[in-house]
């Protein structure tokens, strides 16, 4: 009687040498008229078409810094406070907050979907001012998310779902992850002029012209302060002009405030 059987073994991350890349090895045995024939079939991994992500340029600088043996080296990678010994510096306010949390002995209950209410309120008060009419009128919605990247990804998903025809305007240059986030969320984007290499300053006229030329109702991504990567910010008067143009074009201002809340700009310790 003719019979066949197929035995598959799939190995991920180790095991047999022919399975380390996640390949699939199959043995096919067929019995027919008194003799057995065997064939070896190899399927390429289903992950073979997934490309390796490029190394992060900022973290790459940190790795190069660690490998450098010079006594005069400086770490210009991740923007974080450092001690004189080049170790991460934990702010006193953070230490105090951690101590208070331990003393209160709060449990680890799940938070509601919008996050920790006290944190959300403190964040809105810090950014907008506790006496701001928009807060008192209940016109502010605050959600806690996982890091800056997580909050930007949520905002991008919000735009894609509820404003599918809108475009996001981002500065040239900008933080490298901005483009990736909007690409992954399938939100179209274009750039507005920002940095002027001739003056090593802000190309404000170009910035205004590009924002004015954008389709009505676009989302304009702005850096709250300490623009990444240039460190160049508009003056208070230029912010006023920007607000007028954005309002005139019915654009939506979209602030990425990465440093003010962390204390980099205001410098509290």
Please provide the DSSP assignment of 60-128 as one string: HHHHHHHH---TT----SS---B-TTSPBPPPHHHHHHHHHHHHHT---PPPPTT--HHHHHHHHHHHH
**Considering the chain, what is the average pLDDT of its residues?**
82
pLDDT of residue 240: 96
SS3 state at 246 = helix
Lowest mean pLDDT among 126-130, 165-169, 216-220: 126-130
Beta pairing partners, 189:
168
Location of each CATH 3.40.640.10 domain in the chain: 145-269
In percent, how much of the chain has pLDDT > 90? Answer: 50
pLDDT of residue 260: 64
CA 152 – CA 94 distance, rounded (Å): 24
pLDDT (tens digit, 9 = 90+) per residue, 110-142? 999 999 999 999 989 988 999 999 999 999 999
Closest by CA to 219, choosing from 268, 181, 186, 254, is 254
pLDDT of residue 42: 56
Segment 213-228 mean pLDDT? 94
pLDDT of residue 2: 40
pLDDT of residue 32: 52
In percent, how much of the chain has pLDDT > 70? Answer: 79
Segment 241-260 mean pLDDT? 92
pLDDT of residue 263: 43
Is residue 266 over pLDDT 60? no
| Among 12-16, 236-240, 255-259, the range of highest mean pLDDT | 236-240
pLDDT of residue 17: 47
What pTM was computed for the model?
A: 0.71
SS3 state at 142 = coil
Does CATH place domain 145-269 in 2.60.40.10? no
Please list, in sequence order, all residues whose beta carbon lies within 8 angstroms of the beta carbon of residue 166, skipping any fewer than 6 positions away. 159, 187, 217, 218, 219, 252
Neighbouring C-alpha atoms within 13 Å toward the C-beta of 209: 6
pLDDT of residue 184: 94
CA 65 – CA 78 distance, rounded (Å): 11
pLDDT (tens digit, 9 = 90+) per residue, 7-50? 444 444 444 444 444 455 555 555 555 555 555 555 668 888 89
């Amino acid at each position: 009687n003719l019979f066949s059987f197929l035995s598959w073994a799939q190995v991920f991350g180790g095991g047999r040498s022919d399975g380390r890349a996640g390949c699939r090895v199959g043995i096919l045995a067929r019995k027919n008229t008194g003799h057995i024939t065997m064939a070896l079939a190899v399927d390429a991994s289903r992950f073979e078409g997934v490309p390796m992500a490029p190394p992060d340029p900022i973290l790459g600088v940190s790795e190069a810094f660690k490998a450098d043996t010079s006594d005069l080296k400086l770490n210009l990678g991740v923007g974080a406070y450092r001690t004189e010994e080049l170790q991460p510096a934990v702010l006193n306010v953070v230490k105090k907050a951690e101590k208070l949390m331990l003393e209160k002995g709060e449990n680890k209950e799940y938070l509601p979907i919008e996050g920790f209410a006290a944190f959300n309120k403190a964040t809105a008060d810090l950014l907008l001012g506790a006496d701001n009419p928009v807060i008192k009128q209940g016109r502010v919605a605050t959600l806690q998310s996982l890091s800056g990247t997580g909050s930007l990804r949520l905002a991008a998903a919000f735009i894609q779902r509820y404003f599918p025809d809108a475009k996001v305007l981002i500065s040239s240059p900008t933080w490298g992850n901005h483009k990736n986030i909007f690409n992954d969320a399938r939100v179209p984007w274009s750039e507005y002029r920002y940095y002027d290499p001739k003056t090593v300053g802000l190309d404000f006229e170009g910035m205004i012209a590009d924002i004015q030329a954008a389709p009505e109702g676009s989302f304009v991504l702005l850096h709250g302060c300490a623009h990444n990567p240039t460190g160049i910010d508009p003056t208070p008067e230029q912010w006023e002009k920007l607000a007028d143009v954005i309002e005139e074009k019915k654009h939506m201002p979209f602030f990425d405030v990465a440093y003010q809340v962390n204390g980099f700009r205001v410098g509290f310790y």
